[in-house]
């Protein structure tokens, strides 16, 4: 929980944190600390950008798919489905449930089309857009992100899944810092 809020805090007002930390450090390591902090902040910004891009692309794809299937409130339901991209792997499935349940109630004859549409969107997002966004913005190989999400998720639950990628990106920054 603390890691999640630290990451969000760094995204919002990282410069203020850097000033406070620098003032506490000995002068001879302040430059290195600034470089390290900036590298970690860059990794967090990349993760935030990739996450926002994934939510946006999933919202557009889901909303258009629901609209083509003739489901009322398509883009609102698509937005909720898109939010699932914030939790890798299982998030999109859970976030699609409101649209699937609404379809069962409002237009049960269209349910197979909506379910098929979500399978197509999940495939495009999960194997195409999301891994590429994470690879280019966070510079982590796709396999590393999948393994990190699985490990952090099994150890720490939903919050572990949310912070897996930024924390692994931090570890990569730390490993490469003095090399």
Contact 61, 49 (CB under 8 A): no
* CA 20 centroid distance within chain: 28
Q: 21-70, pLDDT tens digit by residue?
A: 777 888 888 888 888 888 888 888 888 888 889 999 999 999 999 999 99
Q: 94-124, pLDDT tens digit by residue?
A: 999 999 999 999 999 999 999 999 999 998 9
> Rounded to 5 degrees, what are φ and ψ at 177?
-60, -45
Q: Alpha-carbon distance 13 to 21, whole Å?
A: 13
Residues 6+ apart with CB under 8 A from 69: 103, 110, 113, 114, 117
Contact 57, 49 (CB under 8 A): no
Q: 132-179, pLDDT tens digit by residue?
A: 887 778 777 778 888 888 898 899 888 888 888 888 888 888 888 765
Q: What is the pTM of this model?
A: 0.78
3-state secondary structure of 165: helix
């Amino acid at each position: 929980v603390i890691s999640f809020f630290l990451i969000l805090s760094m995204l919002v007002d990282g410069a203020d944190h850097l000033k406070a930390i620098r003032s506490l450090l000995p002068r001879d390591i302040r430059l290195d600390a600034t470089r390290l902090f900036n590298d970690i902040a860059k990794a967090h910004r990349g993760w935030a950008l990739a996450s926002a891009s994934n939510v946006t692309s999933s919202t557009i794809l889901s909303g258009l798919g629901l609209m083509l299937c003739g489901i009322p409130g398509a883009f609102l339901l698509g937005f909720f489905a898109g939010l699932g991209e914030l939790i890798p792997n299982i998030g999109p499935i859970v976030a699609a449930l409101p649209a699937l349940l609404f379809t069962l109630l409002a237009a049960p004859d269209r349910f197979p089309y909506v379910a098929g549409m979500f399978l197509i969107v999940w495939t495009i997002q999960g194997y195409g857009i999301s891994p590429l966004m994470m690879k280019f913005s966070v510079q982590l190989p796709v396999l590393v992100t999948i393994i990190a999400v699985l490990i952090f998720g099994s150890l720490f639950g939903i919050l572990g899944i949310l912070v897996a990628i930024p924390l692994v990106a931090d570890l990569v920054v730390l490993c490469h810092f003095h090399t």
